[in-house]
Copies of this chain bind each other. A is one copy, B any other.
Amino acid sequence: MNKFEFQNPVKIYFGEGQIASVAKEIKPGSKVMMTYGGGSIKRNGIYDQVIAALKDCTVVEFGGIEANPDYDTLIKAIALGKAENVDFTLAVGGGSIIDGTKFIAAGMNYDGDPWDFIIGKVRVPAAKPFGAVLTLPATGSEMNCGAVISRRATQEKYAFHNAAGFPTFSVLDPTAVRSLPKRQVANGIIDTFIHTTEQYLTTAGSPLVMDRFAEGVLLTLVEIAPRLLADGERAYDDCANFMMAATMGLNGFLAMGVDEDWATHMIGHELTALHGLDHGVTLAIVWPGTQHAMRREKEAKLLQYAARVWGITEGTPDEIIDRAIAATDGFFRSLGVSTRLGEHGIGEDTIVEIRRRFDERKWNLGENGIVTPEKAEAILRSRL
């Protein structure tokens, strides 16, 4: 087991009606910038609940943050927040809104071009205080200090972490899941599933507890996914279990003492940057390729995964691994997601461009750098 440090100070309010708790967390009289996306919160009642909770504050709105939040959009929010001298920023939305707000909250404390800290030119500044009302379980951003920012102008997408940039609180009201389109639910399930495997399907010898916790998240997703994607109103407990699984999947807990991979994410980010694919879809495409190509390095963990998550124990190691990969691919497809590059009209050119980018950046990804640019190319090629 690896040495580690861990701290996660985020306060969680979980359950129906908890949006009202925002009033307990933001001082009356504060000037609050409320960040959100395309306006679905105005149709499902969440906007009204947030406004009611902020009745003793002055609210400045910044809507229109897109999925895979864009640098050019966020720069405008930073300018607005600085001009209005806001005390607090409240993200109301899914991972893109919360990630974008992490960039905004840090950017308001920085005088230069905030792209500097995205690309690691300077250290990420401590964020101004911010919180979140989660509307879409997927990224875990509501309870971690990471964010992913896109820059469409240059077709780039990068992650950054900010130990001084956790939300002070997050509200998780499962009823928000009821009105989500199936596509967003499918993406959120896949995102949570693969966050978990990135922290689990690596080397043998991880903490036993963390292995069990990771398997617990995966088993939960496999259990609830068909119900969440069936027609008709979603049950509260299914929504709540989904929301809890997504938060637990990436709040730092599963990572305690483990080796982490993240190659599937890094390769997937390129597919979003180049083709605008949904993040969850890119992961579902890449994941089977990663496990296929790295099966020797990951063998012990893949066999454990096959047995404990899918009950597959018969056959040679390679047969077991192939069946586990096929079961997982089948699970993603059962959610309505196409998992081959060709199904999205993506071919050879893209693979060559991603290889070129990884070569240029000298990126050796995955646990212990085992996913070389050459391996990344092989992963993508197996998904044509």
Contact = CB atoms under 8 A, between A and B. Distances in A.
Nearest to A14: B4
A3 B14 contact: yes
Contact of A6 (B5, B12, B21, B241): B12
Nearest to A217: B209
A125 interface: no
A209 to B, nearest CB: 5
B16 A5 contact: no
A288 to B, nearest CB: 24
Interface stretch (A39-47, A58-66, A218-226): A218-226
Interface string A244-259: 1100100001001100
A14 B256 CA distance: 9
Contacts of A10: 7
A13 interface: yes
A1 B241 contact: yes
Contacts of A347: none
A223 B240 contact: no
28 contacts: A1-B237, A1-B240, A3-B16, A4-B14, A5-B11, A5-B13, A6-B11, A6-B12, A7-B9, A7-B12, A14-B256, A14-B257, A205-B237, A207-B241, A208-B223, A209-B216, A209-B220, A209-B241, A209-B248, A212-B215, A212-B216, A212-B219, A212-B220, A213-B213, A213-B248, A240-B257, A244-B257, A253-B253
Contact of A208 (B5, B220, B257): B220
A3 B236 CA distance: 12
A8 interface: yes
B1 A5 contact: no
Contacts of A18: 3
A316 interface: no
Nearest to A236: B1
A17 interface: yes
Nearest to A205: B237
Contacts of A13: 5
B241 A208 contact: yes
Contacts of A3: 14-18
Interface in A172-215: 174, 205, 207-213, 215
| Category for how many chain A residues contact B | 35 or more
B244 A207 contact: yes
Interface string A314-330: 00000000000000000
A154 interface: no
- Residue in A1, A216, A248 with the greatest tally of chain B CB atoms within 10 Å: A1
Contacts of A9: 7, 9
- Across the A-B interface, the 4 shortest Cβ-Cβ residue pairs: A212-B216, A3-B15, A7-B11, A6-B12
Given A1-B240, A9-B9, A209 B245 contact: yes
A249 to B, nearest CB: 9
Interface in A1-55: 1-18, 21
Nearest to A18: B3
Contacts of A224: 208
A170 to B, nearest CB: 10
A174 B18 CA distance: 39
A26 to B, nearest CB: 16
B5 A8 contact: no
A8 to B, nearest CB: 7
Contacts of A205: 237
A171 to B, nearest CB: 10
- Residue in A12, A208, A216, A217 with the greatest tally of chain B CB atoms within 10 Å: A208
